[in-house]
């Protein structure tokens, strides 16, 4: 029983109507297990999905800005108004400058939104933990999207990330990601000390997305 | 009678419920004048506003990507599904690399969406025109948000941008922006050969937004 | 008889002592043929190489800045003081925002330095030509470093780039690059209307760099 | 007796011949005091200055790359070959992504070069310390270049940065910067627990640079 955050990315299957469908599948499965299941969706889909489902909905990104003259940007206040629970920050595909991660984490906290800062190895996990986010999610970039699970291919990254993060900040929760697709990978992650997983293609691009998510949380 | 594109930026007054209200004001005024009035809104507000109003709704930005593993990004296909007419591209506050502007303009065209490429001077206007967008909108960055209208402070920039753009691409339409707030500025822009204006704070942050827009298009 | 610009990139063989050696080889070959041979080197090597050789030496990049508080940046004035002839701008591996390309081209011109703006296809070549640089160098990024020469694999890109650039700006010179390694590729490029080539690994990483360059310009 | 790192930035006075002169002044003053005085110079000036003076010379930046196809970039191996002692990393005017800071710090360490990671507040100082650099240099960006010294205007930032950094990594040394121009500011920084200062305009743009540096280290 841990946290399962499904990142819809900019997948076709994670956008528009298909995104709403998947969010409803996640809501349904969440109601039948003890795990915390949440979704991270595009800015275009966020408002509708947050209305349609009762599970937590995260933004995939927010910009490090206040309200103002910032064409093409969105801030933490805006995602809160739309019903977001929080945001991913610094995903491997949307890396940010250190000072901007710090700004966003602080801003999210001040608005009582949840921050999930993504990192790529043990040392950046420790660094991110020092910024006092709610979660750090370590994902070795070379494994993202491969189906080779970090919890089996590089268990020491998960274990050492948990240790490093907690030694810097005892309150931070640690997730892991990259290559996670099935219950065995998820269980291995929890065994290594992670409090959950961040995953994407394994669920979003699965042929039977409901079955894939049920299997992940042990309902099959 | 020209085009009036209202850029909501990341203004508090241009976000969330206030954005929907303003879009409805724009729709109302559009129904009472001969000008083309459209709005450019944040990704978070786009879907709802496109449903609520009959005027054209633009995205303020799209990323230069196809569907795929691009956390925190949105593409042209996604804004089309939400009902967008097109997108601003390369706004002064969201400048893009040349190759990315080209990618986005081509992608928007292939989807029959309208591209409005923003530029900062005469030579970049000519360059943007060569990429074959629907519109180029020239905005000297030093005047943006000042209330000092480009059509009066730097009329030669507008005139020369129109000439430069048309000499490169006879089909492209040219807008101008920066500091435009009232009918006189707008009329001056049209007199200089522009086919419309791009504006933001003068309407979005006006005390009486309806009155400001009515005045702009000559209804007061 | 055309222009041959050798981009040393950040290759180990194009850095430090090996870069000085290669620049001297280029100088030697230049003295024995009718082609214009020049080198584009890292900022770290520029001053020494410009002192050591009589051929033209280009920077691989300059930042779009004036003198001032810009830690870790270099500007056009600085490369001029070091003896540079000019700079590459917007290389595929160092792409720039449209407004920054415009700034740099104008700044280089005002200092009587030569600008070589790199582009990735026909439409961006036309756009770059509108900025009035000395050269535009079109390089389809998918062919860079492959050894598959643009002048044979995509001859229409070269031909159409030349036409598009000249129609926008009759004075601009057009180079092409990507995959060029031998005399046949170079001759094909000139036949297609290019006034020279931009190349890198074919010379810089050749086992016998002198022989490779001699062959390229037809001395073998 | 602490460390004094003089950042030449892209100041006209910190470039070219004037940079060499200033480096020699720094070398001369270093020979007459007990402080550690070093300079951080542009990539264009690095090779020459490292040859001309016996004090430590730092790069203002290195890119997060290995040798390869990276036009317009420089890496840690290259600055080492030129005689650099190390590099500034993530200066406020050249902010980097978290993963890139981590890459550069690790790479510098593997080459036995010294890393000085710049940060903007207490929490980013703690985060940077977790990456295990040699130094962290905290500089509130709003004070940079103002002449209002951080050690007097925001002493708690210096004190708390030292505490935060040491609690994460007991070996890291902490510098502070922003607005430091005279001996009093420098002494105040040391009193607050900093092991030195990072400064720029106060020395580089001083009318009498030798006198300014002598005063800073207490020789006047």
Cα–Cα dist D101/C179, whole Å: 33
Query: According to the model, what pLDDT value does residue A86 have?
Result: 98
Within 8 A of A99 by CB-CB distance, chain D residues are: 92, 95, 119-120, 124
DSSP, collapsed to helix, strand or coil, labels residue B139 as: coil
Assign D210 a pLDDT band (cuts: 50, 70, 90).
very high
Q: What is the pLDDT of residue B2?
A: 94
Interchain pair B168, C130: CB under 8 A: yes
Whether pLDDT at A145 is above 80:
no
SS3 B98: helix
**C15: chain D residues, CB-CB within 8 Å:** 67, 77-78, 81
pLDDT mean across residues, chain A? 95
Tokens 């602490």 locate to D2
Listing DSSP states for A182-201 in one string gives SHHHHHHHHHTT-SEEEE-H
Contact criterion met (CB < 8 Å) for D10 and C79:
no
Judged by a CB distance cut-off of 8 A, whether residue C201 touches chain D is yes
State the best of C5, C39, C72 to mutate against chain D, taking most chain D CBs within 10 Å.
C72
Half-sphere exposure of A127 (CA within 13 A, CB side): 33
Establish if B130 touches chain C: CB-CB under 8 angstroms: yes
For residue A165, the domain's CATH number is: 3.20.20.70
Q: Residue A143 has what pLDDT?
A: 80
* Tens digits of residue pLDDT in C85-130: 999 999 999 999 999 999 999 999 999 999 999 999 999 999 999 9
**D19 and D42 in contact (C-beta within 8 Å)?**
yes
Model confidence pLDDT, tens digit, residues C168-199: 999 999 999 888 889 999 999 999 999 999 99
The rounded mean pLDDT for chain B is 95
Q: Which of B9, B70, B144 sits opposite A93 (nearest CB)?
A: B70
Res. B161: pLDDT tops 90: yes
Mutate to test the interface with A, among D100, D128, D130, D170 (most CBs of A within 10 A): D130
Catalytic machinery residues of A: 91, 139
* Residue C129 contacts B, CB cutoff 8 Å: yes
Say yes or no: C93 contacts chain D, CB-CB below 8 A.
yes
The alpha-carbon gap from B68 to the nearest alpha carbon of chain A, in Å, equals 5
Catalytic residue among C48, C139, C154, C215: C139
Going by C-alpha positions, the residue among D114, D119, D172, D129 that lies closest to residue D150 is D119
Predicted local confidence at residue A152, as pLDDT: 83
In this structure, what DSSP letter does residue B60 have?
Answer: S
State how far the Cα of C87 lies from the Cα of C50, in Å rounded to an integer. Answer: 13
Tens digits of per-residue pLDDT, A30-68? 999 999 999 999 999 999 999 999 999 999 999 999 999
Question: Is there a contact between A97 and D99 if contact means CB atoms under 8 Å apart?
Answer: no
Q: E strands of D95-172, at which residues?
A: 114-119, 135-138
Strand B114-119 and strand B135-138: the pairing is parallel
8 A C-beta contact, residue B86 and residue B68:
no
Domain hosting residue D105, numbered range = 3-216
Distance from CA of A30 to the nearest CA of B (A): 23
What pLDDT is attached to residue D128? 98
**How many C-beta atoms surround the C-beta of residue B213 within 10 A?**
27
Among chain B residues, the shortest Cα distance to A61 is held by: B72
**Are A128 and D102 in contact (CB < 8 Å)?**
no
Q: Does B21 qualify as catalytic in the annotation?
A: no
A51 to chain B, any CB pair closer than 8 A? The answer is no
Interface check D48 vs C, CB under 8 A: yes
pLDDT digit string (tens) for C31-54? 999 999 999 999 999 999 999 999
Asked if C20 is an interface residue toward chain D (Cβ–Cβ < 8 A), one would say: no
Contact D124 A131 (CB under 8 A): yes
Q: How confident is the model at residue A116 (pLDDT cuts 50, 70, 90)?
A: very high
Percent of chain A with pLDDT over 90: 90
At residue D145, does pLDDT exceed 80? no
Q: Crossing angle of helices D155-168/D122-129, nearest 10°?
A: 30
SS3 A151: helix
User: How many domains does chain C fold into?
Assistant: 1
- Is B157 within 8 Å of B144 (Cβ atoms)? no
The CB density around residue D208, as the number of other CB atoms within 10 Å, is: 10
> Is some CB atom of chain D closer than 8 A to the CB atom of A124?
yes
Of the candidates C172, C169, C192, the residue with the CA atom closest to the CA atom of residue C180: C192
């Amino acid at each position: 029983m841990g946290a399962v955050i499904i990142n819809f990315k900019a997948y076709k299957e994670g956008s528009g109507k298909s995104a709403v469908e998947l969010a409803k599948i996640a809501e349904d499965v969440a109601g039948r297990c003890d795990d915390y299941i949440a979704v991270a969706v595009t800015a275009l889909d966020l408002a509708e999905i947050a209305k349609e489902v009762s599970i937590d909905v995260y933004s995939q990104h927010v910009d490090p800005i206040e309200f103002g003259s910032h064409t093409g940007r969105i801030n933490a206040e805006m995602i809160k108004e739309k019903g977001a629970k929080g945001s991913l920050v610094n995903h491997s595909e949307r890396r940010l400058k250190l000072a901007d991660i710090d700004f966003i984490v602080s801003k999210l906290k001040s608005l009582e939104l949840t921050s999930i800062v993504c990192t790529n190895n043990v040392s950046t996990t420790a660094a991110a933990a020092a910024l006092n986010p709610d979660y750090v999610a370590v994902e070795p970039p070379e494994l993202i999207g491969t189906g080779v699970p970090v919890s089996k291919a590089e268990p020491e990254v998960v274990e050492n990330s948990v240790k490093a993060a907690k030694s810097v900040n005892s309150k931070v929760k640690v997730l892991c990601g990259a290559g996670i697709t099935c219950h065995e990978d998820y269980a291995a992650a929890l065994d290594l000390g992670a409090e959950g997983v961040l995953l994407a293609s394994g669920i979003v691009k699965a042929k039977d997305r409901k079955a894939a998510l049920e299997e992940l949380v042990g309902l099959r």
